Amino acid sequence: MWPTDRLTRFEVARIVGARALQIALGAPVLVKLKKGEKFNPIELAKREFMEGIVPITVKRPLPTGEKVVIDIKKAIKNWIKEYGSL
């Protein structure tokens, strides 16, 4: 079983992609736009991920049928520690 304080690369891609779609559809952005920065939902979603403020919950299904809720803040910190960035 994958540890509950780690994210897979597939979960990271899904988190960033889902958040970028939310931003593109008008969800409030949780990071400040830099002066003169173009509105790019994917880059904004990546910045939110790197700052650990992504408002998304990850529920990982297990083979037994139960679901485990992942501590997203701790998992993002571990991802950054292990891989550096996106």
Instruction: Judge whether residue 77 has pLDDT over 90.
Output: yes
Structure tokens at 25: 């559809």
- Does 48 map to a domain? yes
- Does 25 map to a domain? yes
Range of the domain at 72: 9-83
- Does 51 map to a domain? yes
Which pLDDT belongs to residue 38?
Answer: 85
pLDDT classification of 2: cutoffs 50, 70, 90:
confident
Whose CA is closest to 7, among 66, 78, 69, 85? 78
Q: What are phi and psi of 53, to 5 degrees?
A: -120, 35
- Does 38 map to a domain? yes
pLDDT classification of 45: cutoffs 50, 70, 90:
very high
Q: How many domains does the structure of the chain reveal? A: 1
- Does 55 map to a domain? yes
Whose CA is closest to 31, among 50, 11, 47? 47
